[in-house]
Structure 1
Amino acid sequence: MKFNTRYVLHTVRTASFNAEAAAELLLEMSKLVPTARLAYRAMNLVELINEDADDLERIANAIGNGELLVVPSSAGYLSTPQ
């Protein structure tokens, strides 16, 4: 598989979307937990996931706008799917 800019951009955007979806699900589930301590831990995790999703979206926008370049580190940048 060749890691080109389009592939990296798609992967980052997908990761951002998945992080947001996971945070929303965790937020809903936190309403069902039996203790305040566990709910607090879940809410803290939601906050961290949302921050990561926002960062990933900013990275995706920078790649899409040409503000951030994706450059292979060597000639052997081909990878096989696992």
Structure 2
Amino acid sequence: MELPQEVIDEVTKRLRRVEGQVGGLIRMVQDGRDCKDILTQLSAASKALEQAGFRLVASGMTYCLEQPEKASADGYSLEEVQKLFMKLA
């Protein structure tokens, strides 16, 4: 399945944000920052990863609904995309 450029851009932006958050988390742990602060940032990074995954699944579902035969031939039947969604849920 080919992702639309807007989806690629959006997911890349989210992943770069997570990348920065993880770097910040590493520094926080190494610096002995307060546990509550670390967990708050960890939660934000986790949420950003979830959002990136949900955006990918939403794009896959759109693809399946708009082009069901092509999607199925590419290995992205609606059932397969639903299974991917459940992995994130």
TM-score > 0.5, shorter chain as reference = yes
Paired residue for 2:38, among 31, 37, 46? 46
Aligned residues, how many?
57
RMSD over aligned Cα atoms: 2.3
Q: Determine what percentage of the aligned residue pairs are the same residue.
A: 4
TM-score in terms of structure 1 length: 0.59
Unaligned runs of 5+ in 2: 63-89
Paired residue type of 1:18: G
TM-score in terms of structure 2 length: 0.55
Looking at structure 2, the residues matched to 68 and 50 of structure 1 have their Cα atoms a distance apart, in angstroms, of: 29
| Alignment partner, residue 71 of structure 2 | none
Query: Higher relative CO (CA 8 A, sep ≥ 6), structure 1 or 2?
Result: 1
| Alignment partner, residue 23 of structure 2 | 21
Unaligned runs of 5+ in 1: 31-38, 70-82
Looking at structure 1, the residues matched to 37 and 26 of structure 2 have their Cα atoms a distance apart, in angstroms, of: 11
Q: What's the CA shift string for 1:3-58, capped at 9, x where partnerless?
A: 8221111000111121111111111011xxxxxxxx43xx2211111000000000
Shift of the 24–44 alpha-carbon distance from structure 1 to 2, 3 Å rule, reads: same
